[in-house]
A and B are shown apart, each in its own frame.
Chain A
Amino acid sequence: SAVISQKPSRDICQRGTSLTIQCQVDSQVTMMFWYRQQPGQSLTLIATANQGSEATYESGFVIDKFPISRPNLTFSTLTVSNMSPEDSSIYLCSAAWGPVGGYTFGSGTRLTVV
């Protein structure tokens, strides 16, 4: 199965700033996703990162707040823009391959906004 490197693993950021999270997969994958996990909660899908086109966002998430890049089949970034304390969460990258394949998750980025 694919291995995902996600960085940074954690960060403390000032309100109003932006943070870009990187996700690197060790092999080419068809689908990449970004999730958010708020404290004590389950995972919520933010968007599907599409290679060569704009990301597909889930209800409640918008591109201006969470811009996503996917320049190739092994890499994606998620930016959390104009952060507020409510954005404090764990952000996770995931990759899938094939129509029915395993899904691998990164170890997550623990973001604290102060």
Chain B
Amino acid sequence: DAKTTQPPSMDCAEGRAANLPCNHSTISGNEYVYWYRQIHSQGPQYIIHGLKNNETNEMASLIITEDRKSSTLILPHATLRDTAVYYCIGETGANNLFFGTGTRLTVIP
């Protein structure tokens, strides 16, 4: 299984960029890195995923290092509604997702 390591918590000022790091040194060459977030009392919400190249969508950007051992999720302009637990996940190869403990991001007014 592709295990991931994330800091347990981070703070970010509202309007600033939130950069959430993730280490996934055991990820295999064909495993994607997914990012999800879970706002309190809701099911996880898909944010973005990538394999090798950097990715960007309307929610965030994903920067993956060339050796694929780590990645960073960037929320360009954090809002209070971005306060959530963010999960960096390696697909296990059976099309299921292994959730680690995630990073609790708190956006501060």
Stretch in B18-26, B37-45, B68-76 with 4+ CB within 8 Å of A? B37-45
Q: A31-B95, A48-B96, A100-B32 are in contact. Are A42 and B42 (CB under 8 A)?
A: no
**B60 at interface (Cβ–Cβ under 8 A)?**
no
- Residues on the A chain within 8 Å of B43, using CB: 4, 6, 92, 94, 105-108
**B84 at interface (Cβ–Cβ under 8 A)?**
no
- Cα-based distance from A92 to B45 in the complex (angstroms): 12
- Cα-based distance from A66 to B94 in the complex (angstroms): 20
A1 pairs with B95, CB closer than 8 A: no
**Number of A-B contacts defined by CB within 8 Å:** 50
B97 pairs with A45, CB closer than 8 A: yes
Contact with B along A88-114 (1 / 0, CB 8 A): 000010101001101111111010000
Majority SS at the chain B contact face:
loop
Q: A48-B94, A99-B95, A100-B32 are in contact. Are A1 and B100 (CB under 8 A)?
A: no
- Residues on the A chain within 8 Å of B45, using CB: 105
A43 pairs with B46, CB closer than 8 A: no
**A44 at interface (Cβ–Cβ under 8 A)?**
yes
- Residues on the A chain within 8 Å of B96, using CB: 31, 33, 45, 48, 96
- Cα-based distance from A96 to B95 in the complex (angstroms): 8
- Residues on the A chain within 8 Å of B102, using CB: 42
- How many Å from the CB of A11 to the closest CB on chain B? 15
- How many Å from the CB of B45 to the closest CB on chain A? 7
B95 pairs with A107, CB closer than 8 A: no
Contact with A along B93-105 (1 / 0, CB 8 A): 0111111111000
- Cα-based distance from A33 to B94 in the complex (angstroms): 11
B95 pairs with A45, CB closer than 8 A: no
Q: A42-B101, A100-B32 are in contact. Are A108 and B95 (CB under 8 A)?
A: no
Q: Which residues of B contact A (CB under 8 A)?
A: 32, 34, 36, 41-46, 49, 87, 94-102
Given A48-B96, A92-B43, A103-B46; 16 other pairs, CB 8 A cutoff? A31-B95, A33-B96, A33-B97, A42-B99, A42-B102, A44-B99, A45-B96, A45-B98, A48-B94, A48-B95, A96-B96, A99-B95, A103-B36, A105-B43, A106-B43, A107-B43
